[in-house]
Amino acid sequence: MEETKASIGSDKEDSSGRMSVEVRYHRNMDVRLVLLAVPVYLFFVFFYYLRDDYIQTGLFVALTLNAIVGQGWAFRTNDTRQLILIKQVGAAIAFALIAVSIAIGVLTSDIYISYPWLFFYPVTAALFFGGRIGITLAAAFSAVMVVVIFSLHFPAWNEAYTKVFKLHSILTLLAIMSIAIISERARVRMRNHLLEARNMYKAAEARQRHTNAELKSEIEMRLESEKALAQSETRYRALFEESSVSMWEENWAGLKEVIDGLPSEAHADLQAYLRANPQEVRRCIKSIWITGVNRATLKLYAADSFEHFLQNIWAILPADIETFTIQRIVAIYRTGRYDSQVTARSLAGRGLHLLVTSAIPAGYEQSWEKVFTSVYDITERVAVEEERKRVDLQLQHTRQIQAVASLAGGIAHQFNNALAVIMGNLDLIELDPQGPGKNNRFIDGLRTSTERMHGLTEQLLAYARGGKYQPGNFSINELILNLLKNSKTLRMPKVRMVTHFEEDVSLSGADNTQIRTVLEAVLANAVEAMPNGGDVLIATCYRMLAEGPKGPDGALPAGLYAAITIADQGVGMDEEACRRIFEPFFSTKFVGRGLSMAAAYGIVRNHDGMIEVQSAPDKGTQVTIYLPGTPLAKPSEGAFRRAA
């Protein structure tokens, strides 16, 4: 390539050299002609001036000025074509003036002065102009002069005419000889120049052939290289486009310039500097250009095209884009690689868990013009892991409940046996005629406490899933109304019970006492949650569930269920309390057993049902109890009832 440039440069130098040779040649020829012609013109100026022939004097003055001005103009240009044009214009003017001078001389008494110059003119015109122009001009002038000579009357010779004729004949011969010598020298010089130019042309042609051969070889090598590059690019594009992994191609050259332009203290701790200067982070974000993405990326983010992807780029990037950008920049700056898990959303609104990997390919470590980013969709894997964790937690919770239930059941059975002995002895004391009397009030207190403890053991046994003691068919609506009418614990001055029942909401194969215990526990919690009073809504209905509700130990199958909803306007519970509400001995109150909801959950699950709790602080609590429903009559629109 260097040799090619050198040969091209030498060709330019040869061309400029030839140009300068031609310019010098034409200038030298002009100088010689001026040096030859001007003295002759000046001679005739003085000659005709002394003869008082002012017309001829003026013509030769004009010839002198034409030669001098033309020469001066020629020295002001270096263009060969302009030099030739100046010479041709000057020559045309000069030959025209000479022709006029000769014609005037022939037609006047100066015929013997002009006559010798008749032979000079055609020779000079033919030699000077050459080619068709010179021959045509010489032939035209000769033809005209032949006609003129035959038609003119030559005056008689005298001594003066003889001297003048001889003088001008000699001058004519000298002029013709000078012109011949000059023409021959010009011909020889021109021939030498032509030979030199031919040799230079041959040398240039040889160099050009050599250059063309080198250029052809270089073109072939470049074509091979471009072909290999195109094949490599095609393979890369095929791998890029057909990859099942989302891939981005980015240009970080502008970002590299921004980082390089940061103050020196920024490079010591780039992460701290960027966190302290959010405007620099925004500047860095604007310097990152996404130059291409593959089809897997468009599919992952639900984009129709690359343009659609770019137009909505801010909607698919992580929410905390500044932190994400800082982490990427710092990792690439330190190690040339970035790996992290992020969350994002597709343009369709689907949540995504992504594993993002960015790296600078080989050859671009200094410029950062290419940064390849691979985005792996791990949404399903994360969902599976979360589901596995949830199932493990659920299984662990179920085992805890089962362990506590087994313990509670064992304690309840032992405690119930002890209570049976106490109750039997109290009955014997009452049957003894000497026993009753003044101690009756103590016996009544013992019996009341014993019955209360018996109720507690029943709750423990229910929580321990001891079985359905007295299964039967009954109406949920009637059970709730009886409970509201007879339970003293549910009667609060500022609390109003509002019922909304569907007709004939019934249960089949359920224990009336246990379901009453569940309702009483839930209603008691609702009343206690409203120290300042309010409404408790109790609603019953049938629901056909396509997918059963989920609980701590599983979900219900699809089917028809009797739904009992109890909603209060109390203080509510947070998410943690809702999650732990069915744990034994867990209570939100400062003083409490924490067994009522655990027992209720055990009873409902023992009846193949589920309890669903929805609550929020200061927004009340809604408890929905689902039990397998068996309508005894066709359900209809229920009446609105109230109970105080």
The reply to whether 486 and 564 lie within a common domain is yes
Average pLDDT over residues 91-98: 80
Report d(CA 427, CA 581) in Å as an integer.
39
Number of neighbouring beta carbons within 10 Å of residue 491: 13
The reply to whether 418 and 333 lie within a common domain is no
Q: Which domain holds residue 416?
A: 382-466
The reply to whether 482 and 515 lie within a common domain is yes
Strand order in 351-359's β-sheet? 289-293, 246-251, 371-377, 351-359, 337-345
The reply to whether 586 and 487 lie within a common domain is yes
Cβ-based burial of 625 (10 A; exposed 0-12, middle 13-18, buried ≥19): buried
Looking at the domain assignment, is residue 238 inside a domain?
Answer: no
pLDDT one-digit tens code per residue, 199-213 = 888 888 888 888 888
User: Which domain CATH number covers 604?
Assistant: 3.30.565.10
Looking at the domain assignment, is residue 224 inside a domain?
Answer: no
User: Which domain CATH number covers 437?
Assistant: 1.10.287
Amino acid at 629: G
Residue 439's pLDDT band (boundaries 50, 70, 90)? low
End-of-domain residue from the set 349, 377, 405: 377
Contact assessment for residue 259 and residue 329, using Cβ atoms and an 8 Å cutoff: yes
Q: How many domains, the chain? A: 4
Looking at the domain assignment, is residue 219 inside a domain?
Answer: no
Q: CA gyration radius for the chain?
A: 61
Among 141-155, 220-234, 569-583, which stretch is predicted with the lowest mean pLDDT?
A: 141-155
Looking at the domain assignment, is residue 226 inside a domain?
Answer: no
Q: Which stretch of DSSP H or E encloses residue 9?
A: helix 2-50
User: Which domain CATH number covers 309?
Assistant: 3.30.450.20
The reply to whether 151 and 99 lie within a common domain is yes
Nearest residue to 290 via CA among 251, 237, 258? 251
pLDDT one-digit tens code per residue, 534-568 = 889 999 999 888 776 776 666 788 888 899 999 99
Looking at the domain assignment, is residue 24 inside a domain?
Answer: yes
Contact assessment for residue 90 and residue 82, using Cβ atoms and an 8 Å cutoff: no
End-of-domain residue from the set 448, 466, 484: 466
Where do runs of H (alpha helix) occur along 252-319? 253-260, 264-268, 270-276, 278-286, 295-300, 306-311, 313-316
- Angle formed at CA 504 by CA 499 and CA 507, multiple of 5 degrees: 100
In the prediction, which pLDDT does 295 show?
85
Looking at the domain assignment, is residue 30 inside a domain?
Answer: yes
Number of neighbouring beta carbons within 10 Å of residue 475: 19
Number of neighbouring beta carbons within 10 Å of residue 320: 12
Among 132-146, 213-227, 380-394, which stretch is predicted with the lowest mean pLDDT?
A: 132-146
End-of-domain residue from the set 466, 490, 525: 466
The reply to whether 602 and 543 lie within a common domain is yes
Q: Between 153 and 388, where is the model more confident? A: 388
The reply to whether 357 and 429 lie within a common domain is no
The reply to whether 417 and 521 lie within a common domain is no
In whole numbers, what is the pLDDT of the chain averaged over residues?
Answer: 77
In the prediction, which pLDDT does 537 show?
93
Contact assessment for residue 588 and residue 527, using Cβ atoms and an 8 Å cutoff: no
The reply to whether 570 and 523 lie within a common domain is yes
Looking at the domain assignment, is residue 239 inside a domain?
Answer: no
The reply to whether 355 and 392 lie within a common domain is no
Q: Helix, strand, or coil here: 622?
A: strand
Cα–Cα separations (whole angstroms), residue 260 to 119, 135, 276, 367, 632: 88, 79, 18, 11, 82
Looking at the domain assignment, is residue 456 inside a domain?
Answer: yes
Residue 469's pLDDT band (boundaries 50, 70, 90)? low
pLDDT one-digit tens code per residue, 106-132 = 677 666 566 666 666 676 666 666 667
The reply to whether 362 and 389 lie within a common domain is no
The reply to whether 122 and 7 lie within a common domain is yes
In the prediction, which pLDDT does 18 show?
47
pLDDT one-digit tens code per residue, 496-542 = 889 999 888 888 778 887 888 888 888 888 888 888 888 899 999 99
Residue 15's pLDDT band (boundaries 50, 70, 90)? very low
Residue 623's pLDDT band (boundaries 50, 70, 90)? very high
